Amino acid sequence: MRAAIYYRNDDIRIVEMPIPKIGEGELLIKVMACGICGSDVMEWYRVKRAPRVLGHEVAGVISEVGGGVESFKVGDRVVVSHHVPCNTCRLCLRGEHTACETLHRTNIDPGGFAEYARVPRINVERGVFRLPEEVSFEEGVFVEPLACALRAQRRLGIRPGDTVLILGSGVSGILHIQISRILGAGRILATDINEYRLRAAEKFGADITIDGRMDVPKLLRSFNDGRGADHVIVSTNAIPAIRQAFQCVDDAGKILFFAPTPPGVEIPLDINDLWSRQITLTTSYAAAPSDLLAALELIRAGRVRVRDMITHRLSLEETGIGFRIVSEAGDSLKVVIEPHQ
């Protein structure tokens, strides 16, 4: 089979490699679509594990079924989660599935940017979901990123009428806009430094968009009755945006850091200010099986518009082009690789 081997963002090599052999309890998936995630182009993180096949937003068809698998059959259309929790450790029992050590170790083989992928037994048991007939493969690649955003917003606890500010209007930011609307946010504002993405934020439900290079705290208050946002979602690792978050959150508000920075980045905090204003800081990583199921249902019901977020559909041979498009963060949103195109 063909696979795209990642060496660095500007060095993706298409190679021939054996189709993975599956064992007891495992599945072989014919990958029909795999999205390029913003984390795939975090070179500081990916290079240290290169060369490897990346790709974790996977939708496809079951090609082979291992012994003992009764829940799935050849021909089933599915989405696959690369990370799954153990469901038995103290963290899982507390509902913190994405902090589970097993979740951080599990993966599919070799990755989604290949014609076929092996799904280990634990992933088959906890991370494979049938794709409804009304949901296309390319829509299926959004299940994982949408699930991550859903889990994050549950940590925020958005209430009807709340003001939400989303810093960064890439794919994650656009998903956060749509979820905030579903949860009943009264006013949604979004920022970016790219005009294309600001227009996309408007298209997908932001009430107000602001160029991130402007005085965001001042403009926010002018649009929001003189006060800050109840919730600020930092969906970018840009340092200016991170600093803006502290200036934009209202008293007793919450800031969610959804995107990681490169190692070693330090942001000074005024602890007295956080304490006196009672600001909550939180983070969110990945998604649990329940989040994936919820995301799949939102897509099936058409409540989150994901198909319109796709700006590029590329073949496996064009994976390198896709990585360039995503890393440049320009006039694009979701880039989907179709290995059998």
The domain that contains 64 carries what CATH number?
3.90.180.10
Calculate mean pLDDT across residues 137-142.
Answer: 98
Q: 311 exposed, middle or buried (CB, 10 Å; 0-12, 13-18, 19+)?
A: middle
| Lowest mean pLDDT across 34-43, 60-69, 159-168, 260-269 | 260-269
- Residue 191 has, within 13 A of its CA and on its CB side, a CA count of 27
Rg of the chain in Å (alpha carbons): 20
pLDDT category at 152 given cuts 50, 70, 90 is very high
The region of weakest confidence among 136-140, 202-206, 228-232, 266-270 is: 266-270
How confident is the model over 316-340, as pLDDT tens digits?
A: 999 999 999 999 999 999 999 999 9
Q: Is residue 299 part of a domain?
A: no
Residue 298 lies in a domain: no
SS3 call for 92: helix
Band of residue 207 on the pLDDT scale cut at 50, 70, 90 = very high
- What's the pLDDT at 3? 98
* The two structure tokens encoding residue 291: 């989040």
In a domain, 173, yes or no: yes
Token pair in block for residue 89: 């450790």
Q: Same domain for 165 and 129? A: no
Q: Is residue 294 part of a domain?
A: no
What's the CATH code of the domain at 183?
Answer: 3.40.50.720
Q: Is residue 15 included in any domain, yes or no? A: yes
Structural domain tally of the chain?
Answer: 2
pLDDT of residue 122: 98
Domain of residue 156: give its range.
Answer: 152-283
pLDDT at 277: 97
What pTM, to 2 d.p., does this model score? 0.97
pLDDT band at 240 (very low <50, low <70, confident <90, very high): very high
**Residues 133 and 189 occupy one common structural domain:** no
Residues 98 and 7 in one domain: yes
Residues 14 and 133 in one domain: yes
The reply to whether 211 falls in a domain is yes
Q: How confident is the model at residue 226 (pLDDT cuts 50, 70, 90)?
A: very high
Q: Are residues 118 and 159 in the same domain?
A: no
Based on the fold, state whether residues 156 and 138 are members of the same structural domain: no
Whole-angstrom CA distances from 202 to 47, 174, 215 are 35, 9, 19
Same domain, yes or no: 165 and 279: yes
Based on the domain organization, do 196 and 252 belong to the same domain? yes
Predicted local confidence at residue 328, as pLDDT: 96
Residues 197 and 86 in one domain: no
